[in-house]
Amino acid sequence: MSRAALLLALVALPALGEPTPQDVQKVMQHDFHARGQAGMDRVVQDGVQRVCTESHDRPPAELAKALQADQMKTIVYPQGSLLGDWQRGEAIAQSGRGLTWNDKPGDAAGGSCYNCHELSPQELSHGTIGPSLRGFGRSRGASAEVQRYVYGKIYNAKAYNLCSQMPRLGASGTLTPEQIKDLVALLLDPASPVNR
């Protein structure tokens, strides 16, 4: 079955009278305007956003599997070790900057990690939308496979869980490969406060 047919077959149609994601997109294209680095291309949904909207973040398993495999292909792994510098990683995790219409284009973005996750126990001001990552590397170690998983998850969370609320921080161009490596170190380096 083609991807389009699969989509049609598996995603429930909204009830009559309720606007579809396509209807909503049309209204947004009329009502929004580009500002700073935030262009109008951003109100156009991609397949992941469309399917997650239509299914209220509960996509049919078969479709989720197919789309996650597509997302996996977007991940570009750098050569060599994926373990950067945890101290730089901590600063990146703290920063909530980047990609908004009043962020200066070209300025370094942050990962907004603490907005949703607990990481270093010293930082009490952490959100709870995502799971706590305190002690993340302690049980998992820092093997090449674990590094690869963490790098991939930060680069494109939708490759692992299609309707995750976590941004695709690498695929969206928010973070550089170097920055993602620093975050991998924050999570996995035994010397990182996350693991001490």
What count of Cα atoms within 13 Å lies in the side-chain half-sphere of residue 34?
Answer: 7
What count of Cα atoms within 13 Å lies in the side-chain half-sphere of residue 81?
Answer: 11
CB of residue 27 vs another protein: minimum separation in angstroms?
6
Count of residues interacting with another protein (CB under 8 A): 50
36's tokens: 């700073």
Among the listed residues 89, 110, 152, 167, the single contact to another protein using CB under 8 A: 167
Asked if 129 touches another protein (CB under 8 A), the answer is: yes
Nearer to another protein, 31 or 145 (CB): 31
Among the listed residues 24, 69, 108, 191, the single contact to another protein using CB under 8 A: 24
Among the listed ranges 5-13, 29-37, 138-146, 184-192, the one in contact with another protein (CB under 8 A) is 29-37
Sign of CA dihedral 161, 108, 148, 188: negative
Sign of CA dihedral 61, 63, 65, 71: negative
Among the listed ranges 78-86, 145-153, 160-168, 179-187, the one in contact with another protein (CB under 8 A) is 160-168
Asked if 78 touches another protein (CB under 8 A), the answer is: no
CB of residue 101 vs another protein: minimum separation in angstroms?
6
Question: x/- site string to another protein, residues 84 to 123, per CB under 8 A?
Answer: ---------------xxxx-----------xxx----x--
What count of Cα atoms within 13 Å lies in the side-chain half-sphere of residue 22?
Answer: 2
The phi and psi torsions of 99 (rounded to 5 degrees) equal: 75, -5
Asked if 175 touches another protein (CB under 8 A), the answer is: no
Report which of 30, 51, 48 is spatially closest to residue 40, judged by C-alpha positions: 30
CA distance readout (Å), 86 to 55, 78, 81, 107, 134 = 37, 17, 14, 21, 14
Among the listed residues 1, 3, 35, 76, the single contact to another protein using CB under 8 A: 35
- With a CB cutoff of 8 Å and minimum separation 6, the contacts of 71 are 48, 156, 158, 159, 162, 168, 171
- Residues in contact with another protein by the rule CB under 8 A: 17-21, 23-25, 27-28, 30-35, 38-40, 42-43, 45, 48-49, 52-53, 56-57, 99-102, 114-116, 121, 124-129, 158, 163, 165, 167-168, 172-174
